[in-house]
């Protein structure tokens, strides 16, 4: 995530670069590359050799022997998944047990959400990359992984710096999610901004504001497992496609529930498509059974969806969207929150028209991270 006000497509790499502060001594880190295909190893070596000390292995067993001898020197491992004798996940799981600080990246030919979640938990995986990969994208991922390694091993890094990196990472994830669908560019940041406008009217405490901001940024993370053909379909979804789309809140919870800092938030993300009258999904929760954060994000998400152009329709006006929220108060939305949200109409309209100015104004995380800088 980055020092975002709003992350524009042409600033993605620039934003990531600002996160990546090279280690103070400017020493080259050592990376272990593991792949049974010679051509892949050669491509990886060519991509990375100028910036890192490179060690290679052609299978998991050979790589384990290298780690046993040089584990304290290795900062990061990039391993293929499909290899003879020992798969990448088995190798990385063994490494995680002995050298938990080594950053681990898995290359895989298949995008399987369940397998990814298991790998993250079992192997303490930092990132997975689906093949064929873009060498420049891989370099950026490795740079962030090296930054993580430095943070974990630098005793002088203060809590605020870690919090800043976490915040920037969350915002990069949000930007990457929005990039899956050109019609939703900036959606996650706008939903977060509208959620914070409402949350601050409720006088919620600082912890809730921080968690609602994080939840807003990540509310659609479950869509990482939804096929592009469904996300960007110009026409009406079939019943089967709609069921797939409806799985994203539960997928979001599943992806984040193993991360201690995000345990509470993962439960909230499951509920942002529930409805006040109990007709929502995935659990049909009703009224105050729905966490207040889920009710807040539901309003913000719906408002942004209505006022944004999509592949299947043009954007509604701000005024039309506000009238629709009034109409759905007490059925789709918490009537008390809907009334307060409608009362924020002028703020919402101004924020929508100039998000780069208004997002920092409402962001709790930006305030606590950057106020002393």
The helix/strand/coil state of 66 is: helix
Report the sign of the C-alpha dihedral through residues 64, 66, 68, 73, in that order. Answer: negative
Taking alpha carbons only, the member of 39, 108, 109, 34 closest to residue 64 is 34
Taking alpha carbons only, the member of 293, 284, 283 closest to residue 334 is 293
Selecting among 104, 148, 168, 223, the annotated active-site residue is 223
223 is catalytic: yes
- Element housing 105 (H / E): strand 103-108
Give the Å distances, CA to CA, from 53 to 74, 102, 137. 9, 15, 19
d(C-alpha 165, C-alpha 100), whole Å: 20
Cβ-proximal residues to 144 (8 Å cutoff; 6+ apart), any chain: 16, 19, 20, 127, 169
Give the Å distances, CA to CA, from 350 to 55, 304, 315, 356. 54, 13, 16, 11
Percent helix, percent strand, percent coil in the chain, to nearest 5: 60, 10, 30
Laid out side by side, the sheet with 53-57 consists of 53-57, 30-34, 74-80, 103-108, 127-130
Both tokens assigned to 256: 């984040």
By annotation, the residues acting in catalysis are 223
């Amino acid at each position: 995530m980055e020092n975002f006000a709003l992350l524009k497509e042409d600033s993605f790499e620039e934003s990531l670069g600002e996160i990546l502060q090279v280690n103070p001594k400017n020493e080259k880190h050592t990376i272990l590359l593991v792949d049974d295909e010679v051509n892949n190893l050669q491509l990886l070596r060519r991509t990375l050799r100028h910036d890192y000390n490179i060690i290679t292995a052609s299978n998991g067993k050979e790589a384990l022997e290298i780690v046993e001898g040089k584990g304290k020197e290795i900062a990061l491992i990039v391993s293929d998944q499909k290899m003879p004798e020992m798969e990448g996940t088995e190798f990385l799981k063994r490494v995680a047990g002995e050298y938990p600080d080594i950053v681990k990246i898995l290359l895989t030919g298949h995008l399987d959400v369940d397998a990814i979640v298991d790998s993250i938990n079992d192997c303490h995986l930092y990132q997975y990359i689906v093949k064929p990969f873009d060498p420049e994208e891989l370099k950026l991922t490795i740079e962030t992984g090296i930054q993580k390694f430095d943070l974990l091993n630098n005793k002088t890094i203060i809590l605020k710096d870690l919090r800043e990196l976490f915040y920037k990472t969350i915002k990069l994830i949000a930007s990457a999610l929005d990039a899956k669908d050109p019609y939703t560019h900036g959606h996650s940041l706008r939903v977060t901004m509208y959620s914070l406008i409402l949350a601050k009217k409720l006088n919620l405490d600082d912890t809730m504001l921080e968690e609602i901001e994080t939840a807003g940024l990540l509310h659609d993370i479950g869509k990482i497992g939804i096929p592009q053909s469904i996300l960007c379909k110009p026409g009406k979804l079939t019943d089967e496609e709609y069921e797939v789309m409806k799985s994203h809140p539960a997928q979001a919870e599943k992806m984040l529930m193993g991360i201690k800092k995000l345990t509470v938030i993962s439960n909230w993300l499951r509920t942002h498509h529930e409805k006040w009258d109990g007709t929502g999904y995935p659990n049909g929760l009703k009224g105050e059974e729905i966490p207040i954060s889920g009710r807040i994000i539901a309003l913000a998400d719906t408002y942004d969806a209505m006022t944004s152009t999509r592949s299947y329709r043009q954007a509604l006006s701000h005024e039309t969207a506000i009238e629709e929220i009034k109409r759905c108060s007490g059925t789709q939305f918490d009537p008390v929150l809907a009334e307060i949200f409608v009362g924020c109409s002028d703020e919402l309209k101004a924020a929508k028209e100039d998000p780069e100015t208004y997002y920092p104004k409402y962001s709790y995380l930006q305030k606590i991270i950057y106020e002393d800088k």
